[in-house]
Amino acid sequence: MKVEVSRQALDRGRITASVKNLHPGYFAYVMATGIVSTAAYSLGPSWLSLALLAAACAGLVILGVALAARLIFFRAAVAADVRAPDRVFAFFTITAGMDVLGVRFELDGYPAVTLGLATAAAAVWLLLTYGVPATLLLTRAHDSVLGGVNGTWLLWIVATQSLSTAAAVLVRHSPSQAIPLAEAAAGLWSVGIIIYLVIITLILLRWLTVPMTPATLGPPYWILMGATAISVLAGARYLTLPRTIPVVAATAPFAEGFTYTLWAFGTWWIPLLLILGSWRHLRHHWPLTYEPTLWSIVFPLGMYSVATLAYGRQAHIDFMEPLARLMFWASLIAWVLVAAAFLVRVARHLREPASAPAPPGSGTAAGRDAVPEKELP
């Protein structure tokens, strides 16, 4: 009986610790799973798309409950994340996750679900899009935030463009609201592009002024490509809107050309990101262990596939569909590998005593992009 009670207490303690130390970017799992499901809808077997959709929905519910519990019981931990420039932008995965999932539901003919998720996502986005920069600007009197700039800052763009995409796909389902939805899609797409230009400048400034280490060169830097990919998807969806809508007629010529520019720039990033990853893992032997930010690699791969397919069909560019198919399989393999690594970590953690140390490479002492030392799956 004592052993059973002790085991129950240990399990409760692990759940409590998991909620308290929940990584703010864990909703990237929903983003990654939802976008790979979307790619499978067009390029893979339907059963796979539905299975991934179910997994994304389950993840959204579980993470939503965990986040709510963290906001209620561990407000100090949440406040610490909000004050940390290297972690606070990860909260934008909440908006992006709901929007990506909502757009996937629209493909199955459930625009009401898309509208509900997009509305909730917009509320979170409004809170974060003004609250995060205001916090960084007004609450830091001495130290610079430049050292905290990393790939998670690009999630601001991803969240913004995810809202633009949701607004664009809802236009045909809401004829009476077509004009304001199109205006929102155009405005958010434009804002996302400007934010991308600003943040990429900050990232390059950090790369050139702060020494690069394997710890700081984490998986979120793949969002350099993912942010352009979702901007391409938002542009492609926007270009499907009727030219009879005034804002579409006024901006479509620019959107057509600049969307291809974004696609080309995102494609340019891929070889460089592979080189940087090789430098991290092969040159400096950084361990390939699970961390929540690994979903930030899966999402850009899946988004690149979906965006390339959507824009290629919209612009009638034939070579893009085979490329999209190739990237779909790459994203699916990446999803399986990251999911397997997560399950291995969970199984290993369940076999370890509560005081067991975190796996190598998972502590914040190792770098800003790493997982907190005591964080549980």
| 3 found inside a domain | no
Residue 318 lies in a domain: yes
When mean pLDDT is compared across 17-31, 188-202, 293-307, the lowest value belongs to 17-31
Provide the pLDDT confidence category of residue 196 given band limits of 50, 70 and 90: very high
Among 178, 235, 148, 215, which Cα is nearest to 364's? 215
- Of 149, 23, 36, the C-alpha closest to 91 is 23
Q: Which of 135, 145, 133, 21 is nearest to 86 (CA)?
A: 145
Q: Which of 16-20, 56-60, 342-346 reaches the highest mean pLDDT?
A: 56-60
What per-residue confidence (pLDDT) applies to 284? 87
How many domains, in total, are found in the chain?
A: 1
Mean pLDDT check: name the lowest of 13-27, 140-154, 267-281, 327-341. 140-154
Under the banding of pLDDT at 50, 70 and 90, the label for residue 353 is low
What average pLDDT score do residues 45-64 get?
96
pLDDT of 368 higher than 50:
no
Query: pTM of the prediction?
Result: 0.89
Structural domain includes residue 107: yes
Lowest mean pLDDT among 53-62, 76-85, 174-183: 76-85
| pLDDT tens digits for range 172-194 | 999 999 999 999 999 999 999 99
The string of pLDDT tens digits covering residues 111-129 is 999 999 999 999 999 999 9
Domain that holds residue 108: 19-366
Q: Calculate what percentage of the chain has a pLDDT beyond 70.
A: 89
Report the CATH number that the domain containing residue 346 is assigned in CATH.
1.50.10.150
Q: What would the two tokens of residue 155 be?
A: 């999630």
pLDDT at 374 over 50: no
Position 133 in a domain: yes
The model's confidence at residue 135, banded by pLDDT at 50, 70 and 90, is confident
Tell me if 62 is assigned to some domain: yes
Is 371 contained in some domain? no
Residue 299 belongs to some domain of the structure: yes
| Structural domain includes residue 293 | yes
Banded model confidence at residue 345, pLDDT cuts 50, 70, 90: confident
